[in-house]
């Protein structure tokens, strides 16, 4: 575990979301290639980039090289504004952070569910994976589910997407419809001709936040326009939602060239990875707005992108309300404060999980060596015993031969116990330090070792 490290640049280190931007545009492959040329001992390399953080999870061949990695990594990555520094963690500190991160305990909205999917996607598209990172992430996903199942993190919006679209629902007066479970009835209550565009929402992008927003708004009966550069990427989502609400798919270029062509909108949600604010005042002013009682309704723009998709000048337009990540910071911070008690309870659980995860990692990494050793000892013992029975002990009776075989079996079992004791000593050293007593292994370690490959009785 000491070989695993993590670099963190999040909204917490930066103080605001703009501080994360310089690292979001790098190509992970280029970063890894430069780092590996400078530090050949670099092993696994996973790059995570979300709306509010950039993290790198890595392994090195020698735990003493984390300092070297920090130096080389800082030189390879784009410069940050003066005074801003990422966090560097290694060993148990890194594992604890990743457990909290995968459970949503490090997010802007405490307990949100999107980060686990984003971690899994980063793992599946990793630039380089070694055995340590594979084992770590396999255990990480399983253990994060346990944290979420045992810690009460409901009662508040669980993601930035649900928080942002919830604010949009408030503006449209539709939150009560979701709660009543009768959104479809309300959506069509004004008659077919009027309801087709009533509270109609455009959603730009095909990422997790865009998809979650679409599902959230569909439950409230809002007709949707899914806008993406590659329409095929959102076609399945549109098909899945079309049974509940009217859903249209439009190409991004078509939308940008003629915003008015997509029809009236009550709101627009955007969460793309573009580096430019493409929703300019000209584009927004061209959008057709939904009418109610003969008057144009205000247009609500939800911008969950980083950097922002909506040009800041749009906030000065009459009849336009812009809700973006920075404008939600106070509410996000309040959510975080209200969940501190749950987070403290989660930390106690993480302590237990951290021990179990360490033990599983050590057992998995050491079991091939122990299995090979046991097999070699067993085969050697068998050969020596066969030679003795054919040579110097050939005069023994069948009963004596049986006694000798029974002794060999017991001796083999004792060797297995010694192998298990060796793994116990590793765990004690890891958790209790080099001076820990070798006579009293932790109860949790015994429970794990009873099911580990090195603990089974091997018969001759």
C-alpha angle 162-167-173 in degrees, rounded to nearest 5: 115
The per-residue pLDDT for 183 is 37
The per-residue pLDDT for 109 is 65
pTM of the model: 0.53
Q: List the beta strands (DSSP E) in 274-349.
A: 291-292, 295-296, 299-303, 320-324
Backbone angles phi, psi at 268, to 5 degrees: -140, 125
Contact 319, 289 (CB under 8 A): yes
Contact 430, 358 (CB under 8 A): yes
Contact 288, 264 (CB under 8 A): yes
> What CATH architecture is 4-156?
2-Layer Sandwich (3.30)
CA-closest candidate to residue 356, choices 56, 96, 115, 57: 96
Domain extent listing, the chain:
4-156, 160-329, 358-455
The per-residue pLDDT for 116 is 85
**β partners of residue 202:** 225, 268
The per-residue pLDDT for 226 is 96
The per-residue pLDDT for 421 is 65
Q: What is the CATH number of domain 160-329?
A: 3.40.50.720
Residues 6+ apart with CB under 8 A from 243: none
Residues 6+ apart with CB under 8 A from 364: 135
Sheet with 267-270: list strands edge to edge: 247-251, 224-228, 201-204, 267-270, 299-303, 320-324
CA-closest candidate to residue 35, choices 47, 24, 53: 47
Contact 309, 278 (CB under 8 A): yes
pLDDT in tens, the chain (460 residues): 788 999 999 878 877 777 888 998 899 999 999 999 999 999 999 999 987 899 999 999 988 999 999 999 999 999 998 989 999 999 989 988 998 888 887 776 666 677 888 999 999 999 999 988 988 898 888 888 878 777 665 555 556 777 888 888 888 875 434 333 333 333 333 333 344 457 899 999 988 788 889 988 998 889 999 999 999 999 999 999 988 889 999 999 999 999 999 999 999 999 998 889 999 999 999 999 988 777 888 899 999 888 899 999 999 999 999 998 887 877 767 766 666 666 677 777 787 787 777 766 666 666 666 667 777 777 787 788 888 888 888 888 888 888 887 888 787 777 777 666 666 566 555 544 444 444 444 444 344 333 333 333 333 3
Contact 332, 108 (CB under 8 A): yes
């Amino acid at each position: 575990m000491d070989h695993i490290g993590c670099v963190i640049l999040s909204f917490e280190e930066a103080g605001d979301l703009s501080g994360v931007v310089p690292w979001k545009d790098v190509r992970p492959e280029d970063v890894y290639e430069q780092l590996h040329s400078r530090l050949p001992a670099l092993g696994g390399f996973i790059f995570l980039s979300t709306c509010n953080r950039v993290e790198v999870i890595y392994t090195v061949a020698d735990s003493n090289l984390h300092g070297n990695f920090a130096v080389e990594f800082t030189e390879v990555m784009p410069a940050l504004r003066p005074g801003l520094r990422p966090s560097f963690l290694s060993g148990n500190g890194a594992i604890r952070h990743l457990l909290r991160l995968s459970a949503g305990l490090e997010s802007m909205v405490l307990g949100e569910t999107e980060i686990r999917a984003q971690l899994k996607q980063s793992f599946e598209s990793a630039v380089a994976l070694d055995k340590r990172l594979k084992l770590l992430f396999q255990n990480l996903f399983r253990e994060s589910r346990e944290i979420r199942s045992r810690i009460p993190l409901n009662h508040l919006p669980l993601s930035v997407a649900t928080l942002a679209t919830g604010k949009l629902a408030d503006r449209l007066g539709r939150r009560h419809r979701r709660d009543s479970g009768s959104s479809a009835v309300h959506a069509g209550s004004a008659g077919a001709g009027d309801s087709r565009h009533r509270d109609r929402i455009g959603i730009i992008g095909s990422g997790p936040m865009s998809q979650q927003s679409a599902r959230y708004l569909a439950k409230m009966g809002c007709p949707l326009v899914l806008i993406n550069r590659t329409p095929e990427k959102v076609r399945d989502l549109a098909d899945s939602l079309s049974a509940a609400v009217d859903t249209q798919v439009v190409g991004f270029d078509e939308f940008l060239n003629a915003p008015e062509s997509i029809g009236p909108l009550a709101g627009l949600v955007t969460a793309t990875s573009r580096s430019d604010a493409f929703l300019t005042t000209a584009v927004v002013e061209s959008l057709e707005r939904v009418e109610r009682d003969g008057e144009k309704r205000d247009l609500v723009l939800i911008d969950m992108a980083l950097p922002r998709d909506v040009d800041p000048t749009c906030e000065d337009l009459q009849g336009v309300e812009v809700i973006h990540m920075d404008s939600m910071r106070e509410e996000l911070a309040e959510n975080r404060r209200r969940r501190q008690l749950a987070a403290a309870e989660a930390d106690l659980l993480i302590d237990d999980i951290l021990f179990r995860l360490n033990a599983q990692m050590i057992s998995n990494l050491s079991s091939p060596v122990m299995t090979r050793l046991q097999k070699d000892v067993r085969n050697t013992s068998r050969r020596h015993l066969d030679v003795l029975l054919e040579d110097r002990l050939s005069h023994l009776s069948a009963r004596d031969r049986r006694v000798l075989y029974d002794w060999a079996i017991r001796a083999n079992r004792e060797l297995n116990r010694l192998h298990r004791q060796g793994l116990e000593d590793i765990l004690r050293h890891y958790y209790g330090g080099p001076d820990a007593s070798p006579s009293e292994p932790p109860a949790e370690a015994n429970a794990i070792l009873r099911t580990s490959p090195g603990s089974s009785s091997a018969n001759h």
